[in-house]
Chains A and B, each alone.
Chain A
Amino acid sequence: MGGGVVLIPALTLLGLDIKHAIAVSIISVIATSSGAASAYVRDRITNLKVGMFLEMFTIVGAIVGATITLASQNHFLFILFGIVLLGSWVALFIRQRSTVRQEVHQDRFSRWLQLEGSYYDQAAQKTIHYKGVRAYLGGPLMFGAGLIAGLLGIGAGALKVLIHDLVMGLPPKVSTTTSNLIIGVTALAGTSVYLAGGLINPGLAAPVVLGVVTGAFLGTRFLVRISNQVVRTIFLYVLIVLGVEMILRGLGVI
């Protein structure tokens, strides 16, 4: 998490046009999310059915979102990006404060979708069984998450995880890993629109993607050594600063 939201402001500060920055970012999102997802899927924490049900909504959202971006003016994208960054801050904040209740009663639609599963929790050393709920609400909300992902070339992981946690009642580990699986396909749907719009530049994307993947790989190695709380706190401050900065640039103040 946190690839695109930092990458796009950085690329625009280096002088790249925001639409091209979005297109570069969405390609690197495919790489990082697919790489992470491959490990989580094989660890059997990801819920493939939940992922594949929700993908139907996010890919359509991403195509709509990317189409809007192609037609939008740059200052609108800056402001929207800033708002989404501040929104991610709120999402992370809510998630930190909330405790997820274990859902026992599954609604009929979620049961029809077979949204349940179990995984082995290493820390607790036991198998955790869970049931997904409110899929009728989760699906349409994921359309919105896909829309934002396609529009701004980010994974929108914070928003997706929040929907999985609070609306669908999935355990936090399942939320995070399943959202990773969804992000890859969603980013591909957005990429195809940017490809059609002539914004994909493989020569420009190549060094950036390599850098982001290396960073993500080293980051996960390095982050396990410092406490989770420190990482969260730093990340929350970064989101606020970048969010305000993008809005001000969109308004033409700086």
Chain B
Amino acid sequence: MTSSASSPPPGQAAARRAPAADMESLVGTILMVGVITSMTLILLGVIWHFAVNGNLTLDYTITGVNFFGFIVQIVQGLFSGAYRPRLLVRLGVVVLLLTPYLRVFASVGYFAFVEHNLKYSLFTLFVFSVLTYSLFLR
């Protein structure tokens, strides 16, 4: 009884705390799923390559495409007869890079539409725009 006297009305406190809590599970889940998916893809690719060739040398460099062009290349590769282990590794790297990117994207949406926090919607939108711009660099 004594503690409830000093705290704000329960409804108001819950309304203020609940969105932030959900934001944390959203961000945490995106990061966890992203990292596990990408590590699994890379591991499968490396094991597959090792089983076929008996070495860990998958050497090649990405040149002349930006990040989004790289994704297009992979999707094209999936439908053609490209070397599968290499494709899995590429896909794993793409998922890894997409993980923090999606996290920022989700934060923009959360601040804008759930928390209705204009200030932080703009902050995260700025981060998202800069990242998008830099991923288009080539």
Contact = CB atoms under 8 A, between A and B. Distances in A.
A195 B123 contact: no
B82 interface: no
A210 B35 contact: no
A110 interface: no
A189 interface: yes
A198 to B, nearest CB: 4
Contacts of A191: 97
Interface in A68-98: none
Interface string A34-60: 110111011010101100110110011
A213 B27 contact: no
Interface in A87-139: 112-114
B59 A188 contact: no
Contacts of B38: 31
A184 B100 contact: yes
Contacts of B120: 49, 52-53, 114
B58 interface: yes
Majority secondary structure of chain B interface residues (helix, strand, loop or mixed): helix
Contacts of B104: 55, 185
A114 B20 CA distance: 13
Given A27-B96, A199-B61, A63 B89 contact: no
A188 B107 CA distance: 16
A204 interface: yes
Interface string B67-78: 100100000000
Interface residues of A, number: 48
A48 B24 contact: yes
B93 interface: yes
A206 B127 contact: no
B126 interface: yes
Interface in A153-170: none
Q: How large is the interface on B (under 10, 10 to 19, 20 to 34, 35 or more residues)?
A: 35 or more
A196 B138 contact: yes
B25 to A, nearest CB: 6
A79 to B, nearest CB: 26
B64 A198 contact: yes
A181 B27 CA distance: 10
B118 to A, nearest CB: 12
A174 interface: no
28 contacts: A27-B97, A30-B97, A31-B38, A31-B96, A34-B96, A38-B29, A38-B35, A39-B28, A41-B27, A48-B20, A59-B127, A59-B134, A60-B130, A63-B130, A63-B134, A114-B119, A184-B100, A185-B131, A192-B131, A198-B62, A198-B64, A200-B62, A200-B93, A202-B58, A202-B62, A202-B86, A202-B93, A213-B39
Given A52-B120, A205-B93, 10 more contacts: A31-B96, A44-B24, A53-B123, A63-B130, A184-B100, A184-B103, A192-B137, A196-B138, A202-B93, A203-B89
Interface of B: 20-21, 23-25, 27-29, 31-32, 34-35, 38-39, 42-43, 45-46, 56-64, 66-67, 70, 86, 89-90, 92-93, 96-97, 99-101, 103-104, 107, 119-120, 123-124, 126-127, 130-131, 134-135, 137-138
- Top 10 A-B pairs ranked by shortest CB distance? A203-B58, A38-B31, A42-B28, A196-B137, A38-B32, A198-B63, A192-B134, A41-B28, A184-B100, A202-B93
